[in-house]
Amino acid sequence: MEPITIRNLNFAYPGQEQLFTDCNLDLNSDWKLGLLGRNGRGKTTLMKILRGKVKYTGTVTSKLNFGYFPLAISEPTAFAGEALLATVNDPALEQWQIERELNLMGVDPALMWQPYETLSGGEQTKVQLATLFAQDGLFLLLDEPTNHLDQLGRQQVADYLTSKQRGFIITSHDQDFLDQVINHTLVIERYQLVLSHGNYSTYFQQKRRRDKEALATNQQLKSEIKALKKTRQQRQQWAQRAEGEKKNNSHADKGFIGAKAAKMMKKTVSTTNRLSQAITNREGLLKEVEEVDRLPLNLVASHHQTLLTVDQVILTINGEQLFEPLSFKVTAHDQVALVGPNGAGKSSLIHAIRNNFAGEYSGKITLANGIKVSYVRQDYTTNHGLLKEFSSEQHIAYDLLLNILRKLGMERSTFNVPIEQMSMGQQKKVELARSLATPAQLYIWDEPLNYLDTYNQQQLIQLIKDYQPPLLFVEHDKHFIDTVAQQQVQVKIFPRKDLVQTV
């Protein structure tokens, strides 16, 4: 066991609010630590600080050699084994060791003999994790490894991490996954760091209890503040009336009235100061409670009952069939999930619906005439520039875009940061906000939860319950699927051989 000691840590990105202020932490390397918190709170930044990748004030003391997921693959066109060995540049690491870890994960080591760039996102995640765990002496920082993993893949990785005797620090927004793999939590809340023993559910139960107590305290304090402000206002009005009596009463003894007014004013100032101090003291006691705002949706009514029909559709790439024939409908209030393993062709089907699929298809895809579709993409790296320019290019209201981003938890200081310089979570919020702000009659979302924290996930669930929008989506988070999907369409891989390109 090696300690990680953090003392008086301070950090802020230029022009943005402080992420860490005089933070002190004592962590142990044998913990399987879940690093949690809302997007933009500094989870990835803390990992960068541990790795010495950003400048900060304070001290971080550790003898550990940190490894980081995801890897930045240097030769993506090479076979996966060669690409991974070239990236980590560890002379002691051999390919058979990575293949051993893949076997322990329940993954076919044959992936090592495919070009890395042809692997699906989930397969790339698995071979990267195997590579990192195959290296001796690394303490691993795993940043969002569940992104792009299907349900089977998440369970494979969860079982694999659970079996490991070594500790690590991991971020993820999949609650079920975290409950399986972590035994400690470090949560970056708005005004404090909360370190506790146990998994995500244990932390969340404790937080709900703290929030309940805080809400009760806040309600009492706000009532006291309201009463104090009312009393202060009354005192000020009395003093003003006394001063008015002095000015307007020309026949009375002005000396007497003036003395009376002065006495009243002196007493009022003294009382007002005490009341103001009491108000300030109580306002300082108000506790921070995470609030989840309801999101708006620019849903446009449609006179069509059926918005999308997929009838016996088959997709092929290079003559190879992706999945068994698919048929389903999305009607005016349907929420339909496309469910299946990585590589089944779910995203390819969405591309075909949007008329930009690179392969061929048979069967019939029918979109209702004239309907507007709003789309959340997996790859949104083409979003760039300042938000004001972006909203103009996308033909959406700038004020509405900012309003949605604020409700999603993005700090105002980020609004003047170019999109391409934002964190991945912030960029995902921009992509999602664009979809919500776009006037539409049908929504198509491809893995909307990637990089979104649990508060944002709950916001999306509430939005779908509130609006019941016609929605076709791809997602691997079982809780989300089970909560919002009225229909689950199974996309079954068609048995095929020698298919190099994975979709």
Q: Tell me whether strands 32-37 and 193-197 are parallel, antiparallel or unpaired.
A: unpaired
User: Right CATH number for 3-190 from 3.90.320.10, 3.40.50.150, 3.40.50.300, 3.40.50.1820?
Assistant: 3.40.50.300
> Rounded to whole angstroms, how far apart are CA atoms 305 and 288?
45
Closest CA to 3 of 46, 63, 67: 63
Residue 258 above 70 pLDDT?
Answer: no
> Rounded to whole angstroms, how far apart are CA atoms 435 and 418?
19
Domains in the chain: boundaries: 3-190, 209-285, 306-490
- Residue count (the chain): 503
Residue 104 above 70 pLDDT?
Answer: yes
> Rounded to whole angstroms, how far apart are CA atoms 3 and 328?
55
pLDDT digits 0-9 by tens, 416-467: 999 999 888 899 999 999 999 999 999 999 999 988 888 899 899 999 999 9
Q: Is the dihedral of CA 34, 37, 39, 41 positive or negative?
A: negative
**What single DSSP character describes residue 283?**
H
User: What percent of the chain shows pLDDT beyond 90?
Assistant: 61
What pLDDT is recorded for position 233?
78
Q: Tell me whether strands 168-171 and 20-28 are parallel, antiparallel or unpaired.
A: unpaired
What pLDDT is recorded for position 503?
39
Instruction: Compute CA distances 448 → 18, 229, 379, whole Å.
Output: 28, 46, 11
Q: How confident is the model at residue 265 (pLDDT cuts 50, 70, 90)?
A: low
What mean pLDDT do residues 238-248 have?
Answer: 65
At position 124, the amino acid (one-letter code) is: Q
Round to the nearest angstrom and report the end-to-end CA distance of the chain: 42
User: What percent of the chain shows pLDDT beyond 70?
Assistant: 85
What pLDDT is recorded for position 211?
67
At position 177, the amino acid (one-letter code) is: F
b/e map of 289-324 (b: 16 or more CB within 10 Å)? eeeeeebbbbbeebebeebbbbeebbbbbeeebbbe
CATH number belonging to domain 306-490:
3.40.50.300
What pLDDT is recorded for position 502?
41
What pLDDT is recorded for position 264?
58
40-44, 225-229, 366-370 — which one is most confidently predicted on average? 366-370
What's the mean per-residue pLDDT of the chain?
87
Residue 368 above 90 pLDDT?
Answer: yes
Query: 464 Cβ partners below 8 Å, 6+ apart?
Result: 335, 471, 484
Identical topology for domains 3-190 and 306-490: yes
What pLDDT is recorded for position 286?
47
What pLDDT is recorded for position 500?
43
Query: Can you list the alpha helix ranges (DSSP code H) found in 5-114?
Result: 43-50, 80-88, 95-105
Q: How confident is the model at residue 320 (pLDDT cuts 50, 70, 90)?
A: confident
pTM more than 0.75: no
What pLDDT is recorded for position 270?
66
Q: Tell me whether strands 20-28 and 3-11 are parallel, antiparallel or unpaired.
A: antiparallel
> Rounded to whole angstroms, how far apart are CA atoms 29 and 12?
26
Cβ proximity of 318 and 127 under 8 Å: no
For the ranges 42-51, 81-90, 279-288, 366-375, which has the lowest average pLDDT? 279-288
What pLDDT is recorded for position 318?
81
Type and span of the H or E element at 334: none
What pLDDT is recorded for position 455?
83
